[in-house]
Structure 1
Amino acid sequence: MLRIADTRTGHLVEIPAAPRRLLRSCVHLPALGAGTDDGTGIGPLHLRVPLIGDVLARTAELNGLQVVTVLTTPELTPDRARALDRVMAVLGIHPPTVIGPHRPEAALGGPADVHVTTGDTDAGDLADGARIEVGRVDTTVPEQDAPAPADGVPDPLAVRLLLLGRPYGTPVTVTGAALAEARRTLIEWRRSVADWAQEASRPIPSGLLRQSHAALAEDLDVAAVLELLAEVAGRSDVPAGAKFETFAHLDRVLGLDLARDVGHQRPTGP
């Protein structure tokens, strides 16, 4: 069972309503501005909204549901549409079934079960279904003391990790230092996953599986799952093979490419 807190009522509601096994999700991209640094009008909030829609779809699929996702957008120039596609791809956001204008019922095959949106979405587009309202994203001028990546190559999935580290309705501030910390976490976790993969596979402890699935199913508490992974990484009572399976399994929702370095470890012997 997947439940989210409907922003309009504050109550947890089951989506989709039992016994249907198809989740119809409508993600509403905010209006694009002209003031972003890259000139595309695509800012951090425009990334966070489809990202939460992506996590919702991944969680629903983990719970055995089929998902149809429609992304509604303002009118986009061809350049902006291509830029949006590129940015979503590098952030690991699965392409929605349809990207198009308002009134998506035909593409969804019926009324939406849930809308992923911001506070300024036209209420006329939200007549049916529960509502997930995504918190704002603020940015700061990059700190002078924020370390640059050691290899000079930024990791877009560090942005994904940073945005997933807060409850979806909570505002997030993106800073250079926060991105650097997210990137360090990804490097550490990927290195650990690659090391654990060399050990015999072991099943995910049932308690960890229940705890992580319960967090995801109860209002998409991804932050709790990230905390759980940080805890598991340091536990001596969880075998390496079980740690690998736990990280690989939950990465189906997190989308952080945590197994990327498997098979590429550097030799540790003399």
Structure 2
Amino acid sequence: MLRLFETRTGQVVGVRPGPLKLYVQQPDDLRVCLTADLLRRLAPRLRRRTLTTAAHDVDHTPWNIPPLHGGDPLPGSLSVGNVTSATEVAVAEWTAPPGDPLAVRLLLLSVHYRAEARIGPESLAGAESRLDAWRRDIARWGTTTARPLHQPTADRAIAALCEDLDAPAALAVLDDLAASDLEPGAKFETAVHLDLVFGLDLVRDLGKY
């Protein structure tokens, strides 16, 4: 079950079932849009469809966020933005760095959405290295005999995201996967499955190694 922080009560509570309706209040804020995108990507894993509108049109496609289209909030929408209310996902402030858009995406996912993110050159370089290492591993695993994904590993990452979008804990599952004794083919399928949620283009280097 998806659980998110409710600002009115100060508690993490379950999100009511049914279609997940999102309204992006600050479309120009990349972190706000990334938080909404993570919810949108997570929903199919929970057998929920999403309907998303935004305060105005915006295009953040370099960060693997599909274009958002302006429109009024749908009835029962969960608002995402730098605001405080019982019906909103309140995203903390952050400092925008230059650099590889997907390394920036990884950096933002590596800090819980409710925590302030102060991002600098050193942390960006670390994210780039982490991303490169995962891509190298996945490219090598992709050359081995195919195996089914390891469902317990995938479930652990999804469970972390269901608990107030704990993306840092979910990303740590990828690190654990790389260090595990699972067969490379299973590692490959599991990483590809999870990257549909993370949106980091982890298969980009297939064929290079």
Per the normalisation by structure 1, the TM-score is 0.72
Deviations 1:153-205 (A, max 9, x none): x5210000000001100000110111111111111111110100011122233
State whether residues 91 and 160 of structure 1, in contact with CA within 8 Å, keep that contact through their aligned partners in structure 2.
yes
Letter in 2 for 1:93: I
Q: 2:127 aligns with which of 172, 182, 200?
A: 182
How do 1:130-209 residues align onto structure 2 when only pairs under 5 Å count?
Answer: 130-138=87-95, 154-209=99-154
SS of equivalent to 1:61: helix
Aligned to 1:11: 11
Consecutive aligned runs of 4 or more in structure 1 exceeding 3 Å deviation: none
State whether residues 204 and 245 of structure 1, in contact with CA within 8 Å, keep that contact through their aligned partners in structure 2.
yes
Aligned to 2:24: 27
SS of equivalent to 1:187: helix
Distance in 2 of aligned mates of 1:158 and 1:186: 7
Deviations 1:233-270 (A, max 9, x none): 112x21111111111111111100000111233xxxxx
Letter in 2 for 1:94: P
Aligned to 1:57: 40
Counterpart check, 1:117 vs 2:57: no
Distance in 2 of aligned mates of 1:65 and 1:183: 32
SS of equivalent to 1:137: coil
Letter in 1 for 2:8: R
Letter in 1 for 2:22: S
Aligned to 1:90: 62
SS of equivalent to 2:79: strand
SS of equivalent to 2:95: strand
How far did residue 220 of structure 1 move?
A: 1.0
Distance in 2 of aligned mates of 1:247 and 1:206: 11
Residue 173 to residue 193, structure 1, CA distance change in 2 (3 Å): same
Q: List alignment gaps of at least 5 residues for structure 1.
A: 31-41, 74-80, 143-153, 266-270
How far did residue 139 of structure 1 move?
A: 5.4
Letter in 2 for 1:134: V
How far did residue 26 of structure 1 move?
A: 0.8
Distance in 1 of aligned mates of 2:139 and 2:183: 14
Q: State the structure with more CA Rg.
A: 1
Percent identity of paired positions between Structure 1 and Structure 2: 38
The CA RMSD over aligned residues, in Å, is 2.0
Per the normalisation by structure 2, the TM-score is 0.91
SS of equivalent to 1:201: coil
Letter in 1 for 2:91: V
Deviations 1:201-241 (A, max 9, x none): 22233321221121111111111011111121112x21111
Distance in 2 of aligned mates of 1:58 and 1:206: 18
Distance in 1 of aligned mates of 2:63 and 2:155: 27
Aligned to 2:200: 256
SS of equivalent to 1:95: strand
